[in-house]
Structure 1
């Protein structure tokens, strides 16, 4: 068993070397972010085009990082392709795993990480649904393992859900918060494990009703997206559901909102739909989405998405700065 670290040891040391395990969409985005914040990054993945994929991602993401105020001079020099997991984690202070969402895969991988990574290394998983307790029960040292779940793409979207497992040490939780803060993210610690965590559960509730409304012929996929981006998307990017409701209650706040429309809202909850999504309905929905967006390539759509997300982040930065100056 590796030696347990004190809270002071974990929270005062510097993060210099990062290992990224898995170079899909999420892993490549993490790689660029970590390198953009000055870390030396070793990345590994069994994909045969790993070096090309890393180089292309750094080229694509460098302008995004620069727009967020990071120095991208020599960005590629800080990233190294590793032949395997052992090489990637050899000198790591922090490891970010981005493998398949399969419990058995993660069990095997984290056994290797615990064995091969330095004793001080923080071991984080980008798992989007599986809590760490599900794949750490047999590890000798699970105290430094926990979830660090980002939203795609993590080099732009600030949120990271920090979710400790049953055996995760509090020192590791604080170290994870410190690390993600160090690389410009907004970590939120969730104190109870639940499949999908918080962000994806909220997203799935909304997606379920969106699919139901399209299935029922209430709205097209494209118009539903217009509803979101021209209303709730704008509101929730600034205040979130609870503060939005609190403000919606006027001077009486959330208490007035609950008393005024609480009964009608509860009635609406009971009427929310569950899509059938049988084979025929699923194919109809797929074709409708393809009709709405199929004329553009994946690269074109992601470029538009990222450009607009950068614009939102920049606007929020300016608003935050103005708020601080006023206060």
Structure 2
């Protein structure tokens, strides 16, 4: 693998759940050797299975020269795993104390110039940097599932992050086919998850209040807003809604509606009754289709959709500023 300008050749992944395995698959597809660490029983077997599940989609997207599923090695300790790494991706469960403990171990044993990225979906990097010997090399590198297909990765630096580290990370992720979005200001949940969380809260209210079933909520997004968002996102979509005068007219015409009580914003109480409504709705909608079969369908769709997005909106390649 060509190291490019980022200087990253040796990669370690700590934590091999769904996100960690997604990272591993993407790194392998880009021709890297990957070292992994996860103390959970059966982790290696689950990773092997996850890579095999992802590989057909990665083949369609295009593999780097020399890329192979077998180029992964599991180590017994964090020290062994991170010792020679240029880049380390941490993906342990979203518990602050646990993450800080694991990151402290990684920071202790990794060489000083190694970059450490955390997949955290909600914790700001300045908190994760507390107590580290080399806090300047820790960043948030938050991906989206499935990591091996979806290109967005949110990069967030903390108060002590070195600007050069962010630039090296940005170059690295670009070279492995991702769309690095540098978040300029630390905020819990970063950017994309905060947007998705707002929709998720409203969807739960709809189900809880008997307005719609889980299947109907999904249909409203799949056949309406979701199709537009895949190409343009909410701001450009509303820009078009204003006609020839664009967003200027849209805000004049529909701006007052923002004051109407259409949304509830606060999350509903996650009662046992609401949980069962959501669970039963999803299981009924899925029917006899297994999770693995759903993942395969999702992956095939996303691979084709990515090509379509790029062909209709080539400017998206430049949408994420350096």
* Same fold at TM > 0.5: yes
Question: 8 Å contact 1:66–1:72 — kept in the other structure?
Answer: no
More displaced 10-residue stretch of structure 1: 279-288 or 115-124: 279-288
Select the residue among 245, 256, 263 that pairs with 2:238.
245
User: 1:69 and 2:62 equivalent?
Assistant: yes
Residue aligning to 2:275: 282
Encode CA deviations 1:63-86: one digit per residue, 9 max, x unaligned: 111111224755134221122211
- Determine the C-alpha separation between the residues in 1 that align with 2:113 and 2:231: 38
Question: 8 Å contact 2:207–2:277 — kept in the other structure?
Answer: no
Select the residue among 124, 127, 133 that pairs with 2:120.
127
The two structures, once aligned, show a CA RMSD in angstroms of: 2.2
Question: How far 1:305 sits from its partner (Å)?
Answer: 1.3
- Determine the C-alpha separation between the residues in 2 that align with 1:323 and 1:153: 20
- Corresponding residue pairs, total: 315
Question: 8 Å contact 1:20–1:97 — kept in the other structure?
Answer: yes
Residue aligning to 1:198: 191
- Determine the C-alpha separation between the residues in 2 that align with 1:137 and 1:261: 45
Residue aligning to 2:71: 78
Query: Residues 323, 207 of structure 1: CA spacing in aligned structure 2 closer, same or farther, 3 A cutoff?
Result: closer
Select the residue among 163, 172, 177 that pairs with 2:170.
177
Question: How far 1:52 sits from its partner (Å)?
Answer: 1.8
Question: 8 Å contact 2:118–2:139 — kept in the other structure?
Answer: yes
Question: 8 Å contact 1:125–1:149 — kept in the other structure?
Answer: yes
User: 1:157 and 2:150 equivalent?
Assistant: yes
Residue aligning to 1:6: none
- Determine the C-alpha separation between the residues in 2 that align with 1:54 and 1:285: 29
Question: How far 1:282 sits from its partner (Å)?
Answer: 2.6
Query: Residues 323, 106 of structure 1: CA spacing in aligned structure 2 closer, same or farther, 3 A cutoff?
Result: closer
- Determine the C-alpha separation between the residues in 1 that align with 2:41 and 2:51: 18
Structure 2 residue matching 1:28: 3-state secondary structure: helix
Residue aligning to 2:19: 26
Question: How far 1:48 sits from its partner (Å)?
Answer: 2.2
Question: 8 Å contact 2:6–2:172 — kept in the other structure?
Answer: no
Question: 8 Å contact 1:41–1:79 — kept in the other structure?
Answer: yes
Question: How far 1:180 sits from its partner (Å)?
Answer: 1.0
Q: TM-score, normalised by structure 2?
A: 0.91
- Determine the C-alpha separation between the residues in 1 that align with 2:300 and 2:112: 40
Question: How far 1:237 sits from its partner (Å)?
Answer: 0.7
Query: Residues 271, 208 of structure 1: CA spacing in aligned structure 2 closer, same or farther, 3 A cutoff?
Result: closer
Unaligned stretches of 5+ residues in structure 1:
1-9
Unaligned stretches of 5+ residues in structure 2:
318-322
Residue aligning to 2:303: 310
